[in-house]
Amino acid sequence: MIGSWREKSQVRLLIVTLTGLLMVSCQAADTYSGPSHDAQASDRPIAQSPSMAVPSMIEIVAVDYRYEGIPAKLDIGTRLSLRNEGAEPHEVVILRLREDTGIEDFVHLSEREMLEGAETIGVLVASPDQTAEGTITIGEAGSYVAVCFVSVGADADDEHVHDNSAAAPPTQVQHYAIGMYASFAAG
Ligand SMILES: [Cu+2]
C-alpha cells in the first residue's frame, strides 16, 4: 500500500540521514565500518542502533568536592563539558597518563608532578552555577584522569594558574587532595 511504502521510505530517509551524521561524527574513529546494513536497515528500530547508545558529548558535573557523570570508559571523539553545581569554583583538568600509572599513586603526586608526568589534554573552569566555556575532545586511546587543582576556600574570582615550574603553596589544600578526581579509559 502506498501509505506503508511512504512510511518505510521516510524511515529509510531518516536512517540515511542518521548514517550521514554518524559518518561525520565517526570520521576520526577506527571502529566505524561504514553503512553495511542497507538491505535491512529500514526494518530495524532506530532506538536499538548500538552506535547511538553512546553519547558523543558528556557533561561533567562538579560539586564540592567530586565529579559526577564521568563514565569509566568512553569512545574516542567524545567531547567533555563542565557544569559547576558546587558552592566553590571548580575546574576539570584532563590529563592523559604517559605510562600505566595507577590512579591512586598518581593522585597522591603534587600538582607539579602530575603536570610533568602526564599530557595535559585540556582545562575547563566554571564558577558556581555556571557552565564552563568550551569543551575538551578526547582524541586518543589511553588512560586519563580528571583533576581539580583549585584550592579549598578559593574565591570565584580567583584565577588558578597551572604552573608546573613551581610547587603549589603547601598551606593550600587543593580539591583533588580531598577526593576531587576521577579516572577513565578511552579507546
Ligand atoms: Cu574543585
pLDDT of 165 reads 47
Distance 71 CA to ligand 1 centre (A): 18
Asked if residue 64 and residue 126 are part of one domain, the reply reads yes
Ligand 1 centroid to residue 123 C-alpha, Å: 12
Query: What pLDDT, in 10s, does the model give residues 167-179?
Result: 555 568 999 999 9
| 61 and 46 in a common domain | no
The last residue of one of the domains, among 11, 34, 52, is 52
Give the C-alpha separation, 133 to 124, whole Å: 7
Residues 79, 11 share a domain: no
Kindly give the distance from the C-alpha atom of residue 132 to the centroid of ligand 1, in angstroms, as a whole number. Answer: 13
The beta strand positions in the chain, using DSSP E, are 57-63, 66-68, 73-74, 79-84, 90-97, 118-126, 136-137, 142-147, 181-186
Residues 93 and 152 in one domain: yes
Q: 35: CA distance to ligand 1 center in Å?
A: 43
Q: Are residues 82 and 139 in the same domain?
A: yes
Give the residue numbers spanning the domain of 13. 2-52
Which CATH number belongs to the domain containing residue 72 in this structure?
2.60.40.420
Report residues near ion ligand 1: CB below 5 Å. 90, 148, 150, 175, 180
- Give yes or no for residue 181 having a pLDDT over 90: yes
* 54 CA → ligand 1 middle, Å: 27
**Same domain, yes or no: 36 and 64:** no
What does the alpha-carbon distance between residue 101 and residue 113 come to, in Å, rounded to a whole number?
A: 13
Whether residues 107 and 131 fall in one domain = yes
User: What separation in Å is there between the alpha carbon of 178 and the centre of ligand 1?
Assistant: 10
Q: Say if residue 33 is in the same domain as residue 119.
A: no
Clarify whether residues 96 and 151 are in a common domain. yes
Tell me, yes or no, whether 47 and 66 share the same domain: no
Whether 125 contacts 132, CB under 8 Å? yes
If asked whether residues 77 and 168 sit together in one domain, one would say yes
Of 107, 148, 110, which is closest to residue 126 (Cα–Cα)? 148
User: Percentage of the chain surpassing pLDDT 70?
Assistant: 61
Strands 66-68 and 90-97, by their bridges, are unpaired
pLDDT at site 41: 45
pLDDT attached to residue 104: 84
Count of domains forming the chain: 2
Ligand 1 geometric centre to CA of 169 (Å): 17
Q: How confident is the model at residue 53 (pLDDT cuts 50, 70, 90)?
A: very low
Question: Do 15 and 92 reside in the same domain of the chain?
Answer: no
Check: CB of residue 120 under 8 Å from CB of residue 94: yes
Residue 12 confidence (pLDDT) above 90: no
Dihedral pair phi/psi, residue 159, rounded to 5°: -95, 115
